[in-house]
Amino acid sequence: MPASPWRLGGLTVRELAGRVYDEIWEDEILDRAAGLSYYFLFSLFPALLFLVALLGMFRGSDLLGPLMGYAHRVLPPDAASVLSKTMEGVVRGARGSLLSLGALGALWAASAGMGSITNALNVAYGVKDPRPWWERRLMAIVLTVVFALFTLSALLFLVFGERSGAEIAHRSALGWAFETAWGLLSLGIAIFGVLTGITLVYDLAPARRRRWRGVTPGSVFALVGWLGASLLLRLYVEYLGNYEATYGSIGGVMLLMLWLYLSGITLLVGAEIDAEIEFAKSSEGASRSEGADRSKSGGAPPLPPTPPSG
C-alpha cells in the first residue's frame, strides 16, 4: 500500500518548507507565475464563454448571478467590476449550444492557460515532456473541460444546495439550525470538488505519472493560499492601495493581472510541495530498501569481490 502524502515523505513541516523555499528560487517560480498570469488573462474570458455554454445546459437556473457574486466576494472591487462587465459582454455575444463553433474556439483558447500550467509543473517535477505537441494540447483541453466541470458542479451544489436547504427548513420544523448545517455541508462538498479538480491537474498535467492518492497537501495549500492571497489583496486595495492614482482607467485591469499573478504563485508552490514530498518519499523508500538488504546480510555491508589470484 503506497504511503500517504500526508506523511510528508518522512519530512518535518520545517524541512519541507525549507526544501520548497529553495525550489521556488531554483525553478524561478515567481517569473513563471508572471508568464502564467499572461496566459491566464488570455484564456480567462474564453474560459468564461465556455462556462456560459455549459451553464446554458441548465435552462431556467440563475447561475451567472451567483458566479459573479462569488467573484465580487473574492476580488477587489475594481477587478471584479472589469470581470463582470466583460462577462456581461460575453453573455450577450454567446449564441448557440455547447457544441457551437464559438464555444469550441473558446475551449481551444482556454486550453492555452492549461498548457502553460503543464510546462510549469514539468519544471516543478524536474521532468522533460516527451509527448508530441498534439498530445500535450489534447491533454490541456481535457483538463480544461474537467476543471470547468468540477467548478460548475461546485457552483451548482452551492446554489441549489443553499436553496434546497432553505426550502426544507421553511417547510419543516427543522428551523435555522438545519439550514446552517446544510449550508456548511454544501460548502464543504463544493470545496472538496475544487480540491479534487486541482489534484487532477497536478496528477495528469505533468509528464510524470503517479498513483492517484486523493487530495494532497499541495492542492490544499493551493486552494487555501489562493483564498488568503485574494483576501489580502482585497484588504490592501480597500485600505492602503490607490491604483487609480497610478494606473488611471486601467487600474481594474492591473488589479486583475495582479490577482492572476498571485493565483499562479499559489498553484505552482502547491505543485512544488507535492513534488518535494514525492522526492523525499522516494529517498526514504531507497534508504529503507538499503537497510533491508543490510539486515539480510547480518547488518554488515556487502564484502567487495575477491580479486583474481596470480
pLDDT in tens, 170-182: 666 666 676 677 7
Q: What is the mean pLDDT of the chain?
A: 74
For residues 309 and 161, give the distance between their C-alpha atoms in angstroms, rounded to a whole number.
82
Q: Quick one: cell of 99?
A: 457544441
Give residue 287's pLDDT band: very low, low, confident or very high (50, 70, 90).
very low
pLDDT for residue 220: 92
pLDDT for residue 103: 64
For the cut 80, the answer to whether the pLDDT of residue 31 exceeds it is yes
For residues 171 and 173, give the distance between their C-alpha atoms in angstroms, rounded to a whole number.
7
Average pLDDT over residues 231-238: 79
Give residue 266's pLDDT band: very low, low, confident or very high (50, 70, 90).
very high
Q: Quick one: cell of 220?
A: 490544499
Nearest CA to 106 out of 38, 149, 45, 197 is that of 45
Average pLDDT over residues 12-23: 93
What are 54-107's pLDDT values in tens digits?
665 555 455 566 667 766 666 767 777 777 777 666 666 555 444 455 667 767
Indicate the angle between helix axes 29-55 and 101-125, nearest 10 degrees: 150
Spatial CB neighbours of 215, under 8 Å, sequence gap ≥ 6: 192, 195, 196, 199
pLDDT for residue 272: 92
Average pLDDT over residues 2-7: 76
What Rg value do the Cα atoms of the chain yield, rounded? Answer: 24
For the cut 50, the answer to whether the pLDDT of residue 297 exceeds it is no
Contact 146, 193 (CB under 8 A): no
Average pLDDT over residues 272-276: 91
Give residue 35's pLDDT band: very low, low, confident or very high (50, 70, 90).
confident
CB atoms within 10 A of CB 243: 18
For the cut 60, the answer to whether the pLDDT of residue 288 exceeds it is no
Q: Quick one: cell of 269?
A: 508552490
Contact 150, 193 (CB under 8 A): yes
Nearest CA to 106 out of 63, 151, 42, 59 is that of 42
Spatial CB neighbours of 279, under 8 Å, sequence gap ≥ 6: 9
